[in-house]
Amino acid sequence: MNKGSWGKIRAFFDMRTEEGFTMKGFKLVEGINGLFVGFPSQKGSDDEYRDTIWAERELKDQVTQMAVKAYGQDIMTPAPGSKDPTATSEPNMNSEFTPPMPSNDDVSTVEPFSDEDIPF
């Protein structure tokens, strides 16, 4: 694991399977809810990045847990009110999120949304 700080990326690492396959290009990313693993990807002709390695959710969770443990920090904490309090995974970007509306007393303390709040 190559630790450092490159924007939101905290480490790069490669992973070797028990069968001897080495997969290169994993990233440990600091998102708004904590650390998660970004799988290897390549930039397409349309300037969009696409994953080059796919895995089921359970395997992604195991990789994230191993990487965060190797990095030396606690795993991401689930959002309050989530259905599975033991689940630790990267945020689900397909679900709709409606933030709670502040009361009139809290309007002065609301911070504006920025691109820095996006975990990728």
Q: Are 19 and 8 in contact (CB under 8 A)?
A: no
Q: How far is CA 31 from CA 45, 59, 101, in A?
A: 27, 19, 23
pTM of full prediction above 0.85: no
Q: In this structure, are strands 9-16 and 34-38 parallel, antiparallel, or unpaired?
A: unpaired
At 73-95, the pLDDT tens digits run 655 544 444 444 444 444 444 44
How much is the pLDDT for 72?
87
Q: How far apart are CA 101 and CA 71, in angstroms?
A: 36
Other C-beta atoms closer than 10 Å to the C-beta of 68 total 21
Judged by average pLDDT, the poorest of 10-19, 68-77, 92-101 is 92-101
**Domains of the chain and CATH, by start:** 1-78 (3.30.1120.40)
Mean pLDDT of the chain: 75
Token pair for 90: 């990267």
More confident: 11 or 111? 11
